[in-house]
Amino acid sequence: MTATKSLYAARVPIFPRRVSGRFRNLKWVIMAVTLGIYYLTPWIRWDRGPNLPDQAVLVDLANRRFYFFWIEIWPHEFYFVAGLLVMAGLGLFLFTAALGRVWCGYACPQTVWTDLFLKVERWVQGDRNARLRLHQAPWTARKIRLKLTTWSLWLMIAVATGGAWVFYFADAPTLARDLATLQAPGVAWATIALLTATTFVFGGFMREQVCIYMCPWPRIQGAMMDEGTLTVAYRDWRGEPRGKGLRRRERAEAAEAATRAAGPRIGGRSPVIPMQVRGATAVAQPAAPAPAVPGAAGDCIDCNACVNVCPMGIDIRDGQQMACITCALCIDACDEVMDRIGRPRGLIDYVALSDAPREAAGGAPIAAWRHAMRPRNFVYAGLWSAVGIALVVLLFIRPEIEMTVAPVRNPTFVTLSDGSIRNAYDVRLRNKHGEARDFALATGEAMAGRLALSVEGSTDAAVTVPADTQGRVRVYLTAPPGSAPATADRTEVRLWAQDRESGERAFVDTTFNGRETP
């Protein structure tokens, strides 16, 4: 066996360095908001009346109800959930077409929790170099103590994560009490255990492996991006050739001298202005002269800051790659370095693929918002809005009373002893309110006086439907002997239901079957 690579490789641990900057700050804000929503939402109360849960967001699987603030979804209205999923899909299309893997970099739970775990790790064990040293150090008491502290904190976060999830499926305060007194149902414990395990392992130990080897999204997104998509990239036409130290200084001084000799000028190779609009002055007055001497050093000083802060352990200067989640931390890291060496920011930046040839040829950068103004993005945004508007409209035209009428067809009619003809109907009435409702039933005016209406088990043609249920009653329509409906094959009839309290009403058209006499 020669010294060739094995077919399998162990994970190489990654110890990202701390970084600060605008994207880091944005990510802190997003983490605080998303985690805040995740952990706190189940505890928001929402009064719906005495017989309905008072939890603002609740997925009641046992009773097949979904509550979201003032909205209540029954299983037959699952199209709302389907519509939201369609919107989620279209939203991802839109964001991917416009901003690449922005979901992966900022909002994906794997990213957010890994970020949180890294923060804990850094807090306990120190920054990149300290963690690297600790990793390579033998297992001393100190190392064991630090590692155990880190893992315990991770485990606490993981338990809280799994614990928060189950609160979405049951009344949170009740379940919390049951969990505290060890009386919660087994499925709650199993769910917490499973999510604790996945959070702990994925956030603490698998990290970038999840994104690279387990998640299908990087492949799908690679196919959905195009040359106009903004994504984190390295301006190699500005950074190369990279170099550091003496050699670099010599080249830079040569370039400086050449530029001075040539006098101030605008044009030629573009002054490297980052794509983000930084104010008109930056454009009119280039922050730094361009290297005019061929062979002069690029802006990249090969300090490896972008590599050291990367949670995926990659080098963005290699170009767009599947492992890049576009978390933009390398932008912050590089900007910091550019500030320090007095070069303009944006060596690593949000850039579209189509920018590369233009900027390399000296063209002016295009503003980010112009990149977003592409037909493709408008189509996605339009579709997304259309589905959203349709859902909102559907939500508001949902009838308060829902009635269905199923004529009993076995048999189609019954002859009573006095010769009258009776039809039966299974009438279902939905009551979505938090209290029982009385419904009055009647036939439409056209049949009034010709068809008598009665309800099985009721003396006054009224139905009481308990709170939050669908009531089913058998309704009888009876035609007197020899009357038109009794002797006709079919007669159209309209059944009305009215909520006795609110006065809302609904109708369903159905038919009355008579005994046709030849």
Partner 1 sequence: MSGKRKDDVTGTETTGHVWDGIEELNNPLPRWWLWTFYATVVFSLIYVVLYPAWPVVNRATSGLLGWSTRGDVAAEIEAVDASQASLFASLTEVDLRVLPRNEELYGFAQQAGGAVFRNTCSQCHGSGAAGALGYPNLLDDEWLWGGTLEDIAFTIRHGIRNDEDPDARFSQMPAFGDILERDQIALLTDHVLSLPGGADPAAGEAGQLFLDNCASCHGENAQGDRTIGAPNLTDAIWLYGDTPEQVASSIRRGPSGVMPPWGERLGEAEVRAVAAYVHALGGGEAQVGEAPVAEGAGATGAEPSDPDEVPFAEEAGATE
Q: Residue 504, interface with partner 1 (CB under 8 A)? A: yes
Work out whether 444 is an interface residue with partner 1 (CB under 8 A). yes
Looking at the Cβ atoms of 345 and 437, the one nearer to partner 1 is 437
Kindly tell me which residue out of 69, 123, 213, 378 binds partner 1, with binding defined by CB under 8 A: 213
Q: Which two tokens stand for residue 316?
A: 């963005």
Determine, following the binding rule CB under 8 A, whether residue 446 of this chain makes contact with partner 1: yes
Least Å distance, CB 323 to partner 1, is 12
* Least Cβ distance, residue 483 to partner 1 (angstroms): 14
Least distance CB 327 / partner 1 (angstroms):
21
Is 264 a binding residue for partner 1 by CB under 8 A? The answer is no
Closest CA to 350 of 363, 367, 333: 367
DSSP H or E run through 513 = strand 505-513
Calpha distance 117→115 (Å, rounded): 5
CB of 459 to partner 1, least distance (A): 5
List the one residue from 422, 467, 471, 510 that touches partner 1 (CB under 8 A): 422
> Given candidates 250, 253, 318, 460, which one binds partner 1 under the rule CB under 8 A?
460
Rounded to whole angstroms, the Cα distance separating 382 from 210 reads 33
Q: How far is CA 130 from CA 18, 126, 133, 327, 370, in A?
A: 12, 5, 5, 23, 43
Q: Please, what's the largest Cα pairwise distance for the chain?
A: 119
Rounded (5°) CA angle 450-454-456? 155
Distance in angstroms between the alpha carbons of the first and the last residue of the chain: 99
In contact, 117 and 154? CB cutoff 8 Å: yes
- Report in angstroms the alpha-carbon separations of 382 from 47, 144, 220, 227, 386: 35, 55, 22, 21, 6
With binding defined as CB under 8 A, does residue 342 bind partner 1? no
Contact flag: residue 419 with partner 1 (CB under 8 A) = yes
| Residue whose CB is less far from partner 1, 135 or 500 | 500
Q: Which range touches partner 1 (CB under 8 A), out of 3-11, 66-74, 126-134, 332-340?
A: 3-11
And the tokens for 73? 């979804």
Q: What is the DSSP letter of 512?
A: E
Of 39-47, 82-90, 392-400, 449-457, the segment contacting partner 1 by CB under 8 A is 449-457
User: Is residue 209 involved in binding partner 1 (CB under 8 A)?
Assistant: yes
Q: Which is nearer to partner 1, 87 or 453 (CB)?
A: 453
Q: What is the distance, to the nearest Å, from the Cα of residue 272 to the centroid of all Cα atoms in its chain?
A: 36
Q: Under the criterion CB under 8 A, does residue 20 sit at the interface with partner 1?
A: no
Among 505, 508, 510, 511, indicate the residue that binds partner 1 (CB under 8 A): 505
Using CB under 8 A, pick the residue from 357, 500, 509, 516 that binds partner 1. 500
User: How many residues lie near partner 1 (CB under 8 A)?
Assistant: 55
Of the candidates 89, 254, 54, the residue with the CA atom closest to the CA atom of residue 172: 54
Among 9, 223, 246, 261, binds partner 1 (CB under 8 A): 9
With respect to partner 1, which residue has the nearer C-beta, 281 or 417?
Answer: 417
Residue whose token pair is 């189940």:
42
| Residue nearer to partner 1 on the CB measure, 270 or 498 | 498
Closest alpha carbon to 200 in 91, 114, 294:
114
CA–CA separation, 226 and 209 (whole Å): 25
From 159, 293, 416, 508, residue interacting with partner 1 (rule: CB under 8 A): 416
Among 36, 174, 411, 516, contact with partner 1 (rule: CB under 8 A):
411
Report which of 73, 65, 68, 64 is spatially closest to residue 55, judged by C-alpha positions: 68
**Strand locations in 444-504 (E):** 452-455, 462-465, 469-479, 490-499
Cα–Cα distance, 439 to 297 (Å, whole number): 84
If one asks whether residue 395 binds partner 1 (CB under 8 A), the answer comes out as: no
Phi, psi of 454 (to 5 degrees): -140, 160
Task: Look at residues 307, 357, 320 and name the one whose alpha carbon lies nearest to residue 230.
Answer: 320
* Contact letters for partner 1, residues 470-489 (x by CB under 8 A): ----x-x-x--x--------
Determine, following the binding rule CB under 8 A, whether residue 517 of this chain makes contact with partner 1: no
Question: How far is 101 from 232, CA to CA, in rounded Å?
Answer: 9
Q: How far is the CB of 244 from partner 1 (least distance, A)?
A: 24
Distances from the Cα of 371 to the Cα of 171, 226, 276, 326, angstroms: 46, 11, 11, 17
Q: Is 13 in the site for partner 1 (CB under 8 A)?
A: no
453 makes contact with partner 1 (CB under 8 A): yes
Residue 261 sits in the site that holds partner 1 (CB under 8 A) = no
* Pick 183 or 459: Cβ nearer partner 1: 459
Q: How far is Cα 44 from Cα 257, in angstroms, rounded to an integer?
A: 66
From 147-155, 164-172, 323-331, 492-500, span contacting partner 1 (CB under 8 A): 492-500
Which residue of 51, 123, 449, 484 would you call a contact of partner 1, by CB under 8 A? 449
Question: Would you tell me which residues interact with partner 1 (CB under 8 A)?
Answer: 1-2, 4-11, 206, 209, 213, 408, 410-411, 414-419, 422, 424, 440-446, 448-449, 452-461, 474, 476, 478, 481, 494, 496, 498, 500, 502-505
